[in-house]
C-alpha cells in the first residue's frame, strides 16, 4: 500500500485539523491575565460551547440516522442505544445529580481521549500500518499525552475549571493527604518529576520516529506527527500550563469539535462521490453549508431547552430570541428526567462513536472513504 502522510489532504489537515487549535494557543498566550482569569462570558459560551461542542454532537446524525444505508447497517445499535441510555441516566440522575454529572464527565473524558487515538489510527492506516520495531509505541505516546494532564488535574485541586460542573472529577489530593506517610511538599516534587518524565517520553518517541524512518528510507509520517504533538500541546496547555476556565474551554472544544465535524462532513460527501462519479464543487459546498447550519440549529434548540427547563443562566440570550413558555422544573423526579432526556444526544453520540468508525462489515465505506 502506498504510504500517504495526510488523512484528508495536506491543505485540509493543516487548515482544519491543525490551524484552529494552534490559533487558540496563540490567542490564549496573548490574552491579558485578567481576561483569562475572568468567568466565561456569554458570547464565548455561545461561539465555542454551543457553536462547536454541542453542534459536533449533532453532526453524528448525518453519519447515522439520516443516512438510510448507514441506519440499516447499524439498525439495532441506533434504536436501542438512546433507549438504554435514557433509562440508565434517568436512574443515575434520580439517585443523585452529583453522581449524574460525574458519570457523564468520565464518559465524556473517555470519548475525548478515544477520539484523539482514533484519528491517530486513521493516520496510521492511511500510511499503511508499516510494521516498525520501536521502544515507545504510538498507542502509548498518544494516551500518555492525555492521561498525564488528566492525572495532574485529579491530583491538583487548584484548577479553576471543571469538565461540566464543579466537583465532577474525583479529588485525589484529598485521598493522598489522608495517608499517614504523606507530607506537605510531596505533591510539588511529584509534579516536577512527572512533568520531566512526560516530556522526556515525547522527545524520545519523536527522535526514535525520525531515526527509524530515516534509516528505513520511509516517508516521514508528517500528518501523524502533527496530530500527536498537537494533542500533547493542547492537553498540556489547556490543563496544566494555563489555569483558566476560558483557556480550557476554548482549547478543549476546538481541538475536539472541529476535527470531528470535518470528519463527518468529509465522510458524507466522499461517500456520495463513490456513488456519483462527478459532483460539482458548489453542490458539495452547499450541502456542507446546509449540514453546518442544521447542526447549529439543533444545538441552539438543545441548549434552549437546557436553559429553559433547568438553569435559566442564559435567559438574556435565549429569551431575547424566543421567550420561555415555562419556568424551571422544581420537582426532583422531573429534574432527573429532564437531565436524562437533554443529555441523550450527547450520550448517544459517545456510544455510537465507538462503533461507526470501525473498519468492519458494518462500515463498508470506511476503507474507500478514509483509508484508500
Residue written as grid cell 528510507 = 217
Predicted TM-score (pTM) above 0.85: yes
Measuring CA to CA, how many Å separate 133 from each of 2, 122, 211, 332? 20, 20, 12, 56
At residue 181, the pLDDT reads 79
Helix axes 97-127, 332-342, angle to 10 degrees: 10
**Beta carbons of 220 and 5 less than 8 angstroms apart:** yes
At residue 282, the pLDDT reads 55
Check the CA dihedral 311-315-317-322 and report its sign: positive
At residue 277, the pLDDT reads 61
What contacts 24+ positions apart, CB below 8 Å, involve 352-359? 352/60, 352/64, 352/74, 352/77, 352/78, 352/81, 353/60, 353/111, 353/114, 353/115, 354/114, 355/74, 355/77, 356/60, 356/63, 356/64, 356/70, 356/74, 357/118, 359/125
| Cα–Cα distance for residue pair 18/55, rounded to 1 Å | 19
| Cα–Cα distance for residue pair 284/273, rounded to 1 Å | 10
- Print pLDDT tens along the chain (372 aa): 567 899 999 999 999 999 999 999 999 999 999 999 988 899 999 999 999 999 999 999 999 999 999 999 999 999 999 999 999 999 999 999 999 999 999 999 999 999 999 999 999 999 887 777 888 899 999 999 999 999 999 999 889 999 999 999 998 888 887 778 777 778 888 889 999 999 999 999 999 999 999 988 888 999 999 999 999 999 999 999 999 999 999 999 999 999 999 999 999 988 888 776 665 655 678 888 999 999 999 999 999 999 999 988 888 899 888 888 888 888 999 999 999 999 999 999 999 999 999 989 999 999 989 887
> Any idea where the domains of the chain sit in the sequence?
10-371
| Cα–Cα distance for residue pair 259/21, rounded to 1 Å | 10
Amino acid at each position: 500500500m502506498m504510504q500517504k502522510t495526510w488523512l484528508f489532504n495536506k491543505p485540509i489537515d493543516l487548515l482544519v485539523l491543525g490551524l484552529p487549535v494552534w490559533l487558540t494557543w496563540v490567542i490564549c498566550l496573548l490574552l491579558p491575565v485578567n481576561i483569562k482569569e475572568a468567568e466565561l462570558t456569554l458570547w464565548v459560551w455561545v461561539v465555542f460551547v454551543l457553536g462547536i461542542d454541542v453542534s459536533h454532537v449533532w453532526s453524528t446524525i448525518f453519519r447515522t440516522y439520516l443516512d438510510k444505508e448507514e441506519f440499516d447497517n447499524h439498525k439495532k445499535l441506533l434504536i436501542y442505544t438512546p433507549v438504554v441510555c435514557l433509562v440508565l441516566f434517568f436512574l443515575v440522575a434520580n439517585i443523585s445529580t452529583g453522581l449524574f454529572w460525574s458519570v457523564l464527565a468520565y464518559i465524556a473524558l473517555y470519548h475525548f481521549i478515544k477520539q484523539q487515538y482514533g484519528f491517530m489510527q486513521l493516520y496510521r492506516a492511511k500510511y499503511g500500518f508499516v510494521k516498525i520495531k520501536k521502544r515507545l509505541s504510538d498507542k502509548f505516546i498518544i494516551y500518555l499525552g492525555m492521561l498525564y494532564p488528566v492525572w495532574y488535574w485529579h491530583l491538583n485541586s487548584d484548577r479553576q475549571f471543571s469538565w461540566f460542573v464543579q466537583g465532577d472529577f474525583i479529588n485525589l489530593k484529598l485521598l493522598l493527604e489522608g495517608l499517614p506517610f504523606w507530607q506537605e511538599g510531596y505533591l510539588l516534587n511529584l509534579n516536577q518529576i512527572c512533568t520531566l518524565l512526560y516530556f522526556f517520553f515525547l522527545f524520545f518517541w519523536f527522535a526514535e520516529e525520525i531515526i527509524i524512518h530515516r534509516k528505513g528510507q520511509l516517508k516521514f509520517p508528517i500528518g501523524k506527527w502533527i496530530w500527536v504533538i498537537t494533542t500533547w500541546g493542547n492537553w498540556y496547555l489547556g490543563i496544566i500550563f494555563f489555569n483558566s476556565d476560558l483557556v480550557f474551554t476554548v482549547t478543549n472544544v476546538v481541538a475536539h469539535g472541529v476535527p470531528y465535524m470535518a470528519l463527518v462532513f468529509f465522510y458524507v460527501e466522499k461517500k456520495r462521490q463513490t456513488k456519483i462519479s462527478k459532483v460539482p464543487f458548489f453542490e458539495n459546498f452547499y450541502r456542507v453549508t446546509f449540514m453546518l447550519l442544521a447542526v447549529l440549529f439543533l444545538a441552539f434548540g438543545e441548549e434552549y431547552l437546557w436553559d429553559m427547563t433547568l438553569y435559566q443562566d442564559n435567559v438574556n440570550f435565549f429569551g431575547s430570541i424566543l421567550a420561555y413558555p415555562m419556568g424551571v422544573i422544581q420537582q426532583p423526579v422531573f429534574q432527573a428526567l429532564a437531565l436524562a432526556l437533554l443529555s441523550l444526544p450527547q450520550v448517544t453520540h459517545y456510544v455510537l462513536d465507538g462503533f461507526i468508525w470501525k473498519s468492519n462489515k458494518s462500515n463498508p465505506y470506511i476503507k474507500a472513504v478514509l483509508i484508500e
